[in-house]
Structure 1
Amino acid sequence: MSDAPTTQSQTVALPTGLDAVLTWAGVTDRGRKRDINQDALLTAYPLFVVADGMGGHIGGEIASASAIDRLQRMVRKGEVSPQSIERALVKAVRDIGEHPDTTDEGTGTTVTGVYLDVTDKDAAWVALNIGDSRVYLQRDDALAQITTDHSLVQELVAAGRLSPEEAENHPYGNVITRAVGPSEGAVPDYVRIDVRDGDRFVICSDGLTKELTDYGILHFLRLHAEPAAAAEAMLEAALENGGRDNVTIVVLNVAVPGQRAESESDEGAAAETGSEDGARSDASPEGASGAEAAADSSTGDDSRG
């Protein structure tokens, strides 16, 4: 079992004048079947990333560590944007290819996560993804997968040749169609998500999603408000359910207290004026959860300038 995660926090001034309080925790474990841990993670505001390496011997461990190292250097320089992320990943590809213990064939890593973009007047989370690690968003007590897997089974599901239920146990479930590696590109997909008080993100490698359903992830988020407790509970459940792969989890909570106050004030004013339209603070389509609406309205929004 890995060391117990600890919760960290940071207060961030948003362009709107409100403050966002971010709390997060991350944990990684080699699982019960693997000899080594080829996963790696980065939790360095404003960037939160999971990398799941692949490759014989220690190739995957080198690939994931190279990607995280280059992204960490980028964060230290103070610029986090799609352009800087892609430059860092190009350097990681070079590092992987030049390492004496890696080969071009089959060596690479997923890179999946979120960062907070406060450069525009409207702050936003930007989810990024290469591979089949995932970003989930819990909003309004519902859970939605924000990223789209770059995997063979996902392509079959999208083509209507597999159902989501069939995809869960497909024999080619481990085959991904995009990775950061010597024979691959280094351009993620991007999704922009508005900053909302009460949101919670889960960033994880497929070692978690092989062992827990989406409902299982939501179950542990509901049970544990504190990020470290939620991450540790999910890890323990994944290991108890078999722990067939390395497991890496980052849980990130978002609190914007001033946003709540503004919403309550707006609702009060709407009630006083009898304005039915003004009282609606949820812009989600009718019948859609807040998390689903955030994912649907953001998917395909390419943040590269």
Structure 2
Amino acid sequence: MTAGGAPEVLGGGATAVGGRARNEDAYLAEAPVFVVADGMGGHVAGAEAAGAAIAAFHPLAGAVAVTPSDVERAHLESRRLVARVQAEVGAASGTTLTGAVAVMHDGSPWWMVVNVGDSRTYALDGGTLRQVSVDHSHVQELVDEGYITPDEALVHPDRNLLTRAIGDDIPEMDAWLVPQVAGRRLIVASDGLMKEVEDREIGELAALIGDPTEAAAALVELAVGRGARDNVTVVVADAVSTTAPDADPAPWPAWGVEAHEDTTPSARRRGGS
């Protein structure tokens, strides 16, 4: 379906417990919603927190005309539900949340990519993989400030320290309106994938497998086959619809990539709650 009609998207997901005692990841891969949550390891009720965050997006599944405001409300609901989990268990718990929702904005279909924490959303275009989301982590801040390199961040002793999560007292999420482009594939993953598989390999494997559910399963299998120490969850989504070439994401400047601008992780860290 072309611009002017409801977004036409498809996708699928897969998950594995990896080297953990239980799976604290959760995901939703039902058009138009493709999101992943990673319960914060070591916290009470991490799995429950991840499940609560994803539950907030379930009402959008199957909807034909989701708006950016609908996604914003789902994000706020995810915070309310995770706060309820915290109250029920009487201890801190939290989760990451990242992914994409196909939305209609100003008469044109878009991907609305959202992120809180260090799970990641990538865009794959013509064999080139680019990270759209920006990690909310201590090591990402060190990279941004030039103290360490991205390779050093992978082995830094503080690599698991988050600077933002669903369940903390920072109410904002990062969000971008990303054009739906022919051939563009989105890959959403918990950090269990990135711990075992390099970005280059993620892009190469995802480009080889046409079916998004099979691509997600293959990426999970690759990580597990390498001895994944963590839970591994991957969601892959494709769009059949396309964003109009002259579409403008305004009036959402806080979420803004200019229309059809390259969405690399140079990433503007902008709140959109």
Q: TM-score, normalised by structure 1?
A: 0.75
Highest CA radius of gyration, 1 or 2? 1
* Aligned mates of 2:79, 2:266 — CA distance in 1: 26
Q: TM-score, normalised by structure 2?
A: 0.84
Distance 1:222 1:75, change over 3 A: closer
Q: Which residue of 2 aligns with 1:280?
A: none
* Aligned mates of 2:265, 2:235 — CA distance in 1: 24
Q: Secondary structure at the match of 2:56?
A: helix
Aligned length: 256
* Greater relative contact order, per chain length (Cα 8 Å cut-off, separation 6+): 2
Q: Which residue of 1 aligns with 2:211?
A: 226
Q: Would you say the 8 A contact 1:191–1:301 is kept in 2?
A: no
1:72 to 49, 58, 75: 58
Task: Report the AA paired with residue 13 of structure 2.
Answer: G
2:223 to 233, 238, 242: 238
Q: Which residue of 1 aligns with 2:197?
A: 212
Distance 1:247 1:75, change over 3 A: same
Task: Report the AA paired with residue 12 of structure 2.
Answer: A
Q: Would you say the 8 A contact 1:63–1:109 is kept in 2?
A: yes
Q: Would you say the 8 A contact 1:190–1:300 is kept in 2?
A: no
* Aligned mates of 1:155, 1:134 — CA distance in 2: 16
Q: Would you say the 8 A contact 1:199–1:253 is kept in 2?
A: yes
* Aligned mates of 2:207, 2:52 — CA distance in 1: 34
Distance 1:125 1:79, change over 3 A: closer
Query: Is 1:189 aligned with 2:174?
Result: yes
Q: Which runs of 5+ in 2 are unaligned?
A: 246-259
Q: Which residue of 2 aligns with 1:156?
A: 142
Q: Where in structure 2 are the equivalents of 1:285-296 lying within 5 Å?
A: 294-296=262-264
Q: Would you say the 8 A contact 2:130–2:264 is kept in 1?
A: no
Deviation at 1:14, TM superposition (A): 3.7
* Aligned mates of 2:266, 2:3 — CA distance in 1: 20
Q: Which residue of 1 aligns with 2:38?
A: 52
Distance 1:166 1:258, change over 3 A: closer
Q: Which residue of 1 aligns with 2:249?
A: none
Deviations 1:75-103 (A, max 9, x none): 5787553431233123223222222x350
* Aligned mates of 1:20, 1:128 — CA distance in 2: 17
Q: Which residue of 1 aligns with 2:257?
A: none
Query: Is 1:90 aligned with 2:76?
Result: no
Q: Would you say the 8 A contact 1:74–1:84 is kept in 2?
A: no
Query: Is 1:251 aligned with 2:241?
Result: no
CA RMSD of aligned residues (A): 2.8
Q: Secondary structure at the match of 2:83?
A: helix
The answer to which of 22-31 and 293-302 deviates more is 293-302
Q: Secondary structure at the match of 1:295?
A: coil
Q: Which residue of 2 aligns with 1:142?
A: 128
Distance 1:303 1:103, change over 3 A: closer
Distance 1:295 1:119, change over 3 A: closer
Distance 1:229 1:45, change over 3 A: closer
Q: Would you say the 8 A contact 1:150–1:177 is kept in 2?
A: yes
Q: Would you say the 8 A contact 1:227–1:252 is kept in 2?
A: yes
Distance 1:257 1:74, change over 3 A: closer
Q: Would you say the 8 A contact 2:32–2:60 is kept in 1?
A: no
Q: Secondary structure at the match of 1:54?
A: coil
